[in-house]
Copies of this chain bind each other. A is one copy, B any other.
């Protein structure tokens, strides 16, 4: 059983069906009926006007968002453990043409208003230092914690005061919403978020992410940047169809709830081995190398995260009967 990452899980049946249904001649790029309906569908979901572009990866979504919010000579404040810093091989620097990520520490890969304010205050004004132009947070975070709407809004207020763009990396946005039970609007634009990378791939898609802009003017140049980056697929309807299929009947929420439930099951078994509170679908566990080896010997695969620490990620398709054996094995350590 693999608990490496949700990004290796298969696509869900709704997505497969949608691909087959979309397998007909239509207009190329994003001129097709599926792509053209995205703005309206996401507007309904977010209760406000939005501009939505599909892309094939979360890295592309994040980087295009940052390029819309930060000039080449600017900086993006983010957590030192953020995906954009550690897992994208410098994609933000590529798409922004060399903007600087300004790293801030914080427990659980979360940033507090005080930490962000301190980082901003430490920047010398003037042309010698890179000046911050944007803030990027991840929700759920890289350590599986979730920002509440109030926590996001507190950061959003700083962004408004300091004229910073505000980006949310939502590779696991569905897991965050599923955990909170809040509206997507409350967690984003109502809290000041300008651009959201809304992930569908980890959550049951085949390869499709929605870049959601809550300010229409941010979308315009992004259409050029997407094309220029080779991310305007000629048969874009297959991406749009995946996303639409997951919005239908709230498949996105059902899938995320399933993954979260799996993680909660593991967390319950883990007790005080937990390194971080489990709020989404990631479980960080204290385990000796011997303990890790013994779990692997039972057929469970996962990453060593740090010395004495392992990471387990649950996926939309792992139901209780899949998870239970690992939970039992952890409890028995």
Contacts and interface: CB of A to CB of B under 8 A. Distances in A.
B56 A28 contact: no
A67 to B, nearest CB: 9
A73 B235 contact: no
A315 to B, nearest CB: 8
Residue of A26, A63, A233 contacting most chain B CB atoms (<10 Å): A233
A88 B23 contact: no
Interface in A31-78: 55-61, 63, 71-73, 75
Nearest to A95: B230
Contacts of A8: 25-28, 234-235
A230 B60 contact: yes
A4 interface: yes
A132 to B, nearest CB: 12
A57 B19 contact: no
A16 B27 contact: no
Nearest to A100: B90
A112 to B, nearest CB: 21
A230 B59 contact: yes
Give the copy number.
4
Interface string A203-218: 0001100000000000
B19 A234 contact: no
A30 to B, nearest CB: 9
A52 to B, nearest CB: 16
A298 interface: no
Interface in A1-39: 2, 4-5, 7-11, 16, 19-20, 23-28
Contacts of A227: 59, 88-89, 91, 127-128
A238 B242 CA distance: 14
Nearest to A230: B60
Interface in A95-128: 95-101, 103, 127-128
A201 interface: yes
A73 B207 CA distance: 24
Contacts of A7: 28, 234-235
Interface of A: 2, 4-5, 7-11, 16, 19-20, 23-28, 55-61, 63, 71-73, 75, 86-91, 93-101, 103, 127-131, 201-202, 206-207, 221, 223-235, 238-239
15 contacts: A4-B28, A8-B235, A57-B234, A59-B230, A73-B89, A86-B129, A88-B128, A88-B230, A93-B93, A94-B98, A96-B98, A97-B98, A131-B224, A206-B238, A230-B231
